[in-house]
A and B are shown apart, each in its own frame.
Chain A
Amino acid sequence: MEFLMCIVVGILFASAVYLMLSKSLLRIIIGTGLLSHGAHLLLLTMSGLKTGAAPILNDNISSYTDPLPQALVLTAIVISFGVTAFFLVLAYRTYQELGTDNMEEMRGTESHD
C-alpha cells in the first residue's frame, strides 16, 4: 500500500510541477495546491499505514496508528491553507491592478523610473 501511495504522490508532484511551469497565475496556484496535497499524503505514508486503530484512546484497543505524523499534517494543512488564501487574494489583486494573469507579461527586470 505504501508503495502505491508513493507512486500516487509522485504523480501529484509531477502534475504540480507541470502546472507551476505554466504561464497562467491561476494554474500556478492550483499547482501549489496539488503540491501540498502530495506533501501531506507523503508525510502520512512515510509513517506506515494502517498499523492499528484511529488514535483515540480506547481501553479495548492496544495498537494505534502513529499519532505524531497526523499532528504534523494537521499543522501543515492549516499553514498551507493560510498561505494559499494569501496567495489567491494576491492573485486577485494582481488581476485588478495589472489586468493580466500571464506570468510572461509580469517581468520585473526592466527598470521603471
Chain B
Amino acid sequence: MSLLHLAIVLPFLAAVFIPFLFKGLKSIHTGWFVLLVPLFLFIYFIQYLPVTGDGETVTKTFEWIPSLGINFIAHVDGLGLLFAMLITGIGALVVLYSIYYLAKEKEALHNFYVYLLMFMGAMLGVVLSDNLIVLYMFWEFTSISSFLLIGYWYDRERSRYGAQKSMLITVFGGLSMLGGIVLLYLMGGTFSIQELIGLSDVLITDPLFVPALLLILLGAFTKSAQFPFHIWLPDAMEAPTPVSAYLHSATMVKAGIYLVARMSPVFAESGLWLWLVAGFGIFTLFWGSFNAVKQTDLKALLAYSTISQLGLIMSLLGVGAAALHYDYLDDNIYMIATIAAVFHLINHATFKGSLFMMAGIVDHETGTRDIRKLGGLVNLMPITFTIAIIGSFSMAGLPPFNGFLSKEMFLTGMLSVLELDLFNLSTWGVLFPVIAWIASVFTFVYSIKLVFKTFLGKPQFDKLPKKPHEAPIGMLISPLVLITLVVVFGFFPNLLSNSLIKPAVEAILPSLVESGQEVDVHIYFWHGFQPELFMTLGIILFGIVLYSTLAKWQGVYNRIPERFTLNGLYDRGLSGSESGGYRLTSGVMTGFMRTYLVYIFSFFVAILMSTLIIKQGFVYDTSGLAAIKSYEVILALVLVAGAVTILFAKSRLTSIVALGVVGYSVALFFVLFRAPDLALTQLVIETVTVALFLLCFYHLPEISRKEERMRFRFGNAVLSVLVGITITLIAMSAFSQRSSESISQYHIDNVYELAAGGNMVNVILVDFRGFDTLFEICVLGVAALGIYAMIRYRSARSENE
C-alpha cells in the first residue's frame, strides 16, 4: 500500500476518530480537526502537478482480490488530478464554511463530519481508481454518503423524501453502470480502464458494445442529473447548505461528468456516444435554465442552474468526441470543445460553490431563502452582495469573469457542430448552437434575477424572520476565496492552461496525443469580431428584455399541469408501483388453500404437457406389455367405481367406506401382481386408516354436520382430469421407452448367498437397503410423537376458555 493509496483512504481513516473528538473535546468545534484532512490532501496532490504537466502518469497497485482481477489501482493523470484538487480544495473551503454555519451546541456534528469525510474519500476513490470495480465501489459510497447527508436533518419530512429520491435514482444508475462494467469485462477481459482504452478498436465491433455504452451512460446521466434524471437534485437541497455547495454543485454531480470524460477514449469512436452525450447535454442545459427562472427559492434556483451547467459541460464533452472522427485535420477545431468542457468544469466549481455559500449566508442571516421575501439587502450585506454579483455575472457569462471565457469557448464548440458531416449532424446540427443560445439567454435571466431580487429592489425587512446583518468573517472566507479565483481565472486564464487543463484534455483524448496532435490551450479574452461575440451581445440584449418583462410571460410555467411534470410522473410511478405491488400480492395470495393448489396443479400440467408436446415425447409401444386377464379388468372396474363413488357420495360415511373399497382393491391388485408383503401391509394399514377416518367423522362439529353433496365445479373438474391425463400419458411414454435393464437381478442372485434370506423384499428392506427402513421407522416415530403432542398439549387459549 503506497502513500497514494493512503491518501485516498485517509478521509475514511480520519472519520473513525471524529466521534471521539466530538465527545471528548466539546469546547473545540469538531470541524477544525476535519479541516486538516482536506488541507493536507490538497498540499499532497499539488506535488503531482509537475508530473502530470509533463504528460507523465503515476500508477500504484494494491492487490485486493487478484484472483478476480480486482485490484485497487490508483492512477493519477491530468483528469484524475484535476478532480482530486477540486475535491480536496473545495472540500477544505466547505469544511471551513461549515464550522461557522453549523453551531456546535445544536447540531450532531459527529454525524455530519463522518458522512462528509466518507464522501470525500469516496469521491477521491472514484476519480483516482483505474479498476472499474473499485471505481464502482467508491461510486456507491458517494451515493450512500450523499443519501446520509441529504437526510441529515432526519426529523424533517422533506429531507427524508429528498434523500430517498436521490438514493433511488442514483442507485438505479449505479446498478446500470455495474452492468456496463460487467459487459466491458466480458468484451475486454479486464477491469482496468487504461487497458480497455488500448482495446477500444476491438471493442467497437463487439455486439455487446452498444449495451455497455448505454448502461455506462445511464450511470453517468443519473449521477450528473441529466434530463430526465435531474429531478433528484432540486429535492437534495434539503441538505445543509455546505453539503449542497460541496456535493450538489462542485463534486458529486461531476462524478458523471468524470465518468463520461474517463470513458470517452473507450466509447467515443462510436457515433452513438457523440449523439447521446451531446444531445442529452444540450437539452438538459436548456431545460435546467428554463426551469431555473421560475424558482422562488434561492437554493432551488441554484439547483436548476447546476443541472443546466452540467448539461453544458456534458454537451461539450459530446461534441469534443468529434475530434476523434477528424484526427486527420491539422487544426482540430473540435478539440476546443473538450478544452472548454474542462475549463468550464473548473469555473463552475468556483462560482457555483461561492453562490451556494452566498445563499447559505443569506438564509443564515435573514432566516429565509424565499426570493419573494428578500430584497434590498445590498446596504446591510455588502460583502455578500459582492460575492453574489461576481458569481452571478460569471455564471451568466459576462466579462471580465471566468464564466465569460468558458461561455465563449462553449459557443465556439457549438458552432463547430455546424461543420460536422457525420450522422445527419449536417442537417440537425444547426439545432445545437440555436438551443445553446436560447439556454444562455435564460441563464442570463436567472443569474440577474438571483442578484437583483435578493439584494436590490425594495427592502421588506418586516417579512423576514430575523433582523438581517452581515455574516461573521469566518463564514465569508470560503466564498471570498472562491470568488477571488473567479476573478483571477478570469484575468489570467492561462495560469490553468498548461498546469491543469492540458493534462486533463490529453487524458480525455489520448489517441490524438499519440497521433502527434498538440493540445494547444490558449484562452484569449479577445478574439476579434467572431460570431461568438455577436451571440454574446445578443444574449445580453435579449436577457435584459426578457428579465424586464418577466412578470408578463411568467404565466407560461403554469401551463404544464402538475401531473405531467417529471416530478409528478416520479411520484405517481413510485406510489403506483407500491399500490400495484400490493394489488398483485393481495390478488395472487388469496389466503385460500384451494387457490394455491390450483396454481400448483396448473403449472404441473402446463409444464409437463408442453414439454411432452414440444419435445414430441409421447411414445406408444405395446411390445413389452403383459396380457390382460378378465378378473383384473373386473378389479380395475371396482377400484375405479370406488374412486368415483367418493366424488358423488352425499354422506361422508359413504366416502370413507368407498375409500376403504379402493384400499382393499389395491391390496387385491398387490396379490395379483405377486407382491404378498405389500398385500399384507396394505390390508392392515387400510383398516387402521379407515378406523381413523371414522374417528374424525364422528367428531365433526355440530354446525357442519349436515351432509351435502360436493358441489360440482367445472374448473376443478377440468383441472383434475388434465392432471389425470398428464400422469397417464407420461406413465405410458416412460414405460414404452425404458432404456436399461433392472438392477434387481443382483438382488435375486445374491439374496441367499450374501444375506441368508429367501424373502427378497424383506432382505432388501433390512439388509441391502436397510437405511431406508431405519428412517422410515423414524418417520413413524415422529408421527406418533407428533400425534401424542397434539392431543396432550393444548394451547393456553383453549385452557382459558
Nearest-Cβ distance from residue A31 to partner chain B, whole angstroms? 9
Per-residue contact bits, chain B 329-369, to A (CB 8 Å; 1 contact, 0 not): 00000000000000000000000000000000000000000
* Cβ-defined contact, B747 with A3, below 8 A: no
- Whole-angstrom distance between the alpha carbons of A99 and B780 in the complex? 28
Dominant secondary structure of chain A at its interface with chain B: helix
Give chain A residues whose Cβ lies under 8 Å from the Cβ of B721: 14
- Whole-angstrom distance between the alpha carbons of A92 and B769 in the complex? 36
- Contact check: which of B700, B717, B751, B769 meets A18 at CB < 8 Å? B717
Interface centre among B652, B662, B696 (most CB of A within 10 A): B696
- Whole-angstrom distance between the alpha carbons of A33 and B590 in the complex? 26
* B692 interface residue per 8 A CB criterion: yes
- Contact check: which of A34, A75, A82, A108 meets B643 at CB < 8 Å? A34
* Cβ-defined contact, B735 with A46, below 8 A: yes
* Cβ-defined contact, A55 with B760, below 8 A: yes
* Cβ-defined contact, A13 with B689, below 8 A: no
- Whole-angstrom distance between the alpha carbons of A103 and B695 in the complex? 19
Give chain B residues whose Cβ lies under 8 Å from the Cβ of A78: 681, 685, 776, 779-780
- Contact check: which of A27, A29, A85 meets B787 at CB < 8 Å? A85
* Cβ-defined contact, B674 with A9, below 8 A: no
* Cβ-defined contact, A107 with B592, below 8 A: yes
- Contact check: which of B591, B627, B666, B732 meets A108 at CB < 8 Å? B591
Selecting from B49-57, B392-400, B593-601, the interface stretch reads B593-601
Given contacts A17-B724, A90-B790, contact A30 B646 (CB under 8 A): yes
- Whole-angstrom distance between the alpha carbons of A91 and B704 in the complex? 14
Mark out the residues of chain B between 727 and 757 whose CB falls within 8 Å of any chain A CB in the assembled complex.
Answer: 727-728, 731-732, 734-735, 742-744, 747-748, 751-752, 757
* B550 interface residue per 8 A CB criterion: no
- Whole-angstrom distance between the alpha carbons of A46 and B728 in the complex? 11
Give chain B residues whose Cβ lies under 8 Å from the Cβ of A42: 727, 731
Give chain A residues whose Cβ lies under 8 Å from the Cβ of B692: 84-85, 88-89
* Cβ-defined contact, A19 with B779, below 8 A: no
- Whole-angstrom distance between the alpha carbons of A55 and B601 in the complex? 37
Give chain B residues whose Cβ lies under 8 Å from the Cβ of A88: 689, 692-693, 695-696
- Contact check: which of A5, A21, A47, A95 meets B700 at CB < 8 Å? A95
- Output the nearest chain A residue to B728 by Cβ-Cβ distance: A10
- Contact check: which of B627, B764, B773, B791 meets A1 at CB < 8 Å? B627
* B607 interface residue per 8 A CB criterion: no
* Cβ-defined contact, B699 with A95, below 8 A: yes
Given contacts A19-B646, A45-B735, A75-B776, contact A10 B727 (CB under 8 A): yes
Nearest-Cβ distance from residue B598 to partner chain A, whole angstroms? 7
Interface residues on B, range: 35 or more
* A60 interface residue per 8 A CB criterion: no
Nearest-Cβ distance from residue B668 to partner chain A, whole angstroms? 12
Give chain B residues whose Cβ lies under 8 Å from the Cβ of A91: 696
* B783 interface residue per 8 A CB criterion: yes
Per-residue contact bits, chain A 58-75, to B (CB 8 Å; 1 contact, 0 not): 100000111110110111
- Whole-angstrom distance between the alpha carbons of A26 and B704 in the complex? 12
* Cβ-defined contact, A3 with B625, below 8 A: yes
- Whole-angstrom distance between the alpha carbons of A6 and B730 in the complex? 9
- Output the nearest chain B residue to A8 by Cβ-Cβ distance: B636
Give chain A residues whose Cβ lies under 8 Å from the Cβ of B727: 6, 9-10, 13, 38, 42
* Cβ-defined contact, A41 with B760, below 8 A: no
Give chain A residues whose Cβ lies under 8 Å from the Cβ of B742: 47, 66, 68
Nearest-Cβ distance from residue A24 to partner chain B, whole angstroms? 8
Give chain B residues whose Cβ lies under 8 Å from the Cβ of A74: 677-678, 681, 761, 765
* Cβ-defined contact, A44 with B646, below 8 A: no
Per-residue contact bits, chain B 260-279, to A (CB 8 Å; 1 contact, 0 not): 00000000000000000000
- Whole-angstrom distance between the alpha carbons of A29 and B655 in the complex? 11
Per-residue contact bits, chain B 581-612, to A (CB 8 Å; 1 contact, 0 not): 00000000111111001100100000000000
Interface residues of B (CB under 8 A from A): 589-594, 597-598, 601, 622, 624-629, 632-633, 636, 639-640, 643-644, 646-647, 652, 655-656, 659, 662-663, 666, 669-670, 673-678, 681-682, 685, 688-689, 692-693, 695-697, 699-701, 703-704, 710, 713, 716-717, 719-721, 723-725, 727-728, 731-732, 734-735, 742-744, 747-748, 751-752, 757-761, 764-765, 769, 772-773, 776, 779-780, 782-784, 786-787, 790-791, 795, 798
Interface residues of A (CB under 8 A from B): 1-24, 26-27, 29-30, 33-34, 37-38, 40-42, 44-58, 64-68, 70-71, 73-75, 77-79, 81-86, 88-93, 95-97, 99-104, 106-110
Q: List 15 A-B contacts (CB under 8 A).
A: A3-B735, A11-B644, A21-B713, A30-B693, A41-B666, A50-B673, A57-B760, A71-B765, A73-B675, A78-B685, A78-B776, A81-B689, A95-B701, A100-B703, A107-B591
4 closest cross-chain pairs (CB), A and B: A14-B724, A10-B728, A109-B591, A82-B783
Q: Apart from A29-B693, A100-B703, what 20 extra A-B contacts exist at CB < 8 Å?
A: A2-B624, A3-B732, A11-B640, A12-B643, A15-B644, A17-B601, A27-B655, A38-B727, A40-B666, A46-B731, A55-B748, A55-B759, A56-B676, A68-B744, A71-B765, A75-B772, A82-B784, A88-B693, A89-B790, A92-B696
